[in-house]
């Protein structure tokens, strides 16, 4: 019995050395991965890529999906106990908060050559890179080509042209433009292209530039060129309105293309978000997720970095972006995608000058975003002027 007990204890000790991964003594033949993708094509394509890159490195990657609402609380709890998964795909605004725990590996050994500088900058925290996105998404302006042709209007490039086109194309139950001003991060995300392109800063929410941007949205709603319901519409709702012919234009992302392309009688074009003036610099927010590596032991971290290197390669970045409706972080891959799929050219064009949502405030971004989307709600639904709404947001 004593011999048997000793054998069992030895086996348990060896398993513990594997950090719960099984296999070899140091557990490096199996890595853990976590993300929050719940729907196709992301949740079907990602395991496939993980299997392929794991096979190249000689490891098995155990994939785990956690609902979005539970994702960050789970990761922060794991970070506090130093038990983060070897690989985690996190929303880019969440990166600073996770990096601040000290639970992530600085990705100093990974080359960022060939990646968009804006995307590399989005993955930095206190000067070090802790996250790298395989692909990103953003926002552009979709327009109904048939309606524009019938009205003799060209796709707008400036705010004045956008306002004029929206008013001209508003007729009956059809609005000229649709966007999401919902009281969540989606509302802030949709507003930020106008906010930043106007020259506004999240550090001063009530600046003249910020007021000018919110005044644009308020003017569109008050002129009935945009529905008052924008304060309740998600980006999916906006897409539904555009597809149904209830909006001649919409602000939305590339992830809507698979659905839009299924509607054969809908002819649409896509252009960059209009800017205040021809000399303004277009700035859109970077959307999408970043790969991170959790601290474990040197052997496991090295294997995780090797898998990550594979996932970020030009061919895998292109494969993932095509499947997920993203723009590759690799500039050569992005150019290749834009050439093969003209629908994505506007999104590719915007990536070079895009900005991470956390670039200005880091871990303070969520509070600023909440104040901003509440200001949008107060202005468009609560009757406040842009000045009043943004002054209250700045004070908060």
Predicted local confidence at residue 273, as pLDDT: 97
For 351, residues 6+ apart whose C-beta sits below 8 A from its C-beta are: 116, 118, 119, 136, 138, 286, 327, 334
Distance CA 137, CA 324 (A): 10
DSSP code for 154: P
Alpha helices in 326-385 (DSSP H): 331-340, 345-351, 365-380
User: What average pLDDT does range 160-164 have in this prediction?
Assistant: 98
User: What average pLDDT does range 361-375 have in this prediction?
Assistant: 95
Distance CA 37, CA 87 (A): 14
Q: Which residues does residue 293 pair with via DSSP β-bridges, in sequence order?
A: 87
Distance CA 23, CA 393 (A): 54
Give the Cβ contact number of residue 113 at 10 Å. Answer: 8
Q: Would you state the torsion angle of the CA atoms of residues 143, 149, 152, 153, taken in this order, to the nearest 10 degrees? A: 10
pLDDT in tens, 312-327: 999 999 999 988 889 9
Give the Cβ contact number of residue 32 at 10 Å. Answer: 22
pLDDT surpassing 50 at residue 8:
no
Radius of gyration of the chain measured on its C-alpha atoms: 23
For the chain, give the percent of residues with pLDDT over 90.
Answer: 84
Residue 21 in tokens: 């991964």
pLDDT in tens, 208-255: 999 999 999 999 999 999 999 999 999 999 999 999 999 999 999 998
Compute the half-sphere exposure of residue 36: CA atoms within 13 Å on the CB side of its CA.
Answer: 16
Q: Crossing angle for the helix pair 331-340 and 314-324, nearest 10 degrees? A: 50
For the chain, give the percent of residues with pLDDT over 70.
Answer: 93
Model-level pTM? Answer: 0.84
pLDDT in tens, 20-67: 343 444 556 999 999 999 988 888 999 999 999 999 999 999 999 999
Q: Would you state the torsion angle of the CA atoms of residues 31, 37, 38, 42, taken in this order, to the nearest 10 degrees? A: -100
For 134, residues 6+ apart whose C-beta sits below 8 A from its C-beta are: 291, 311, 312, 316, 317, 320, 321, 326, 328, 329
Cis? peptide before 41, omega within 30° of 0: yes
Nearest of 240, 287, 234 to residue 260 by alpha carbon: 240
pLDDT surpassing 70 at residue 91:
yes
Residues in the chain: 396
Q: Given pLDDT bands bounded at 50, 70 and 90, which one contains residue 343?
A: very high
Distance CA 67, CA 254 (A): 22
Distance CA 139, CA 285 (A): 8
Is residue 205 within 8 A of residue 361, CB to CB? The reply is no
């Amino acid at each position: 019995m004593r011999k048997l007990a000793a054998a069992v204890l030895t086996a348990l000790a060896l398993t513990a050395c594997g950090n719960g991964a099984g296999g070899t003594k140091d557990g490096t033949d199996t890595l853990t991965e976590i993300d929050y993708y719940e729907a196709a094509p992301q949740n079907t394509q990602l395991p496939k890529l993980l299997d392929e890159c794991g096979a190249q490195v000689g490891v098995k990657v155990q994939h785990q999906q956690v609902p979005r609402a539970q994702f960050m609380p789970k990761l922060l709890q794991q970070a506090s106990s130093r038990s983060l998964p070897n690989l985690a795909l996190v929303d880019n605004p969440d990166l600073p908060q996770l990096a601040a725990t000290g639970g992530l590996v600085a990705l100093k050994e990974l080359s960022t050559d060939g990646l968009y500088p804006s995307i590399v900058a989005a993955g930095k925290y206190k000067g070090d890179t802790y996250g790298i996105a395989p692909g990103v998404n953003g926002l552009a302006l979709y327009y109904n080509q048939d309606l524009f042709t019938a009205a003799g209007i060209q796709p707008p490039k400036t705010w004045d042209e956008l306002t004029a086109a929206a008013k001209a194309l508003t007729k009956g139950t059809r609005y000229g433009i649709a966007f999401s001003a919902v009281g969540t991060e989606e509302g802030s995300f949709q507003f930020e292209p106008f906010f930043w392109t106007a020259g506004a800063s999240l550090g001063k929410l009530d600046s003249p530039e910020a007021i000018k941007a919110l005044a644009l949205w308020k003017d569109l709603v008050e002129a009935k060129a945009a529905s008052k319901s924008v304060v309740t519409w998600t980006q999916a709702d906006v897409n539904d309105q555009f597809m149904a012919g209830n909006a001649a234009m919409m602000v939305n992302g590339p992830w809507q293309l698979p659905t839009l392309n299924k509607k054969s009688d809908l002819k649409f074009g896509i252009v960059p978000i209009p800017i205040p003036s021809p000399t303004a610099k277009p700035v859109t927010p970077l959307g999408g997720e970043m790969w991170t590596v959790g601290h474990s032991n040197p052997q496991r971290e090295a294997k995780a970095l090797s898998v990550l290197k594979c996932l970020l390669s030009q061919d895998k970045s292109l494969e993932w972006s095509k499947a997920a409706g993203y723009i590759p972080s690799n500039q050569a891959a992005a150019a290749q995608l834009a050439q093969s799929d003209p629908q994505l050219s506007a999104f590719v064009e915007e990536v070079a000058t895009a900005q991470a949502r956390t670039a200005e405030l880091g871990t303070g971004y969520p509070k600023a975003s909440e104040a901003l989307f509440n200001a949008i709600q107060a202005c468009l639904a609560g009757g406040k002027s842009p000045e009043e709404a943004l002054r209250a947001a700045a004070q908060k």
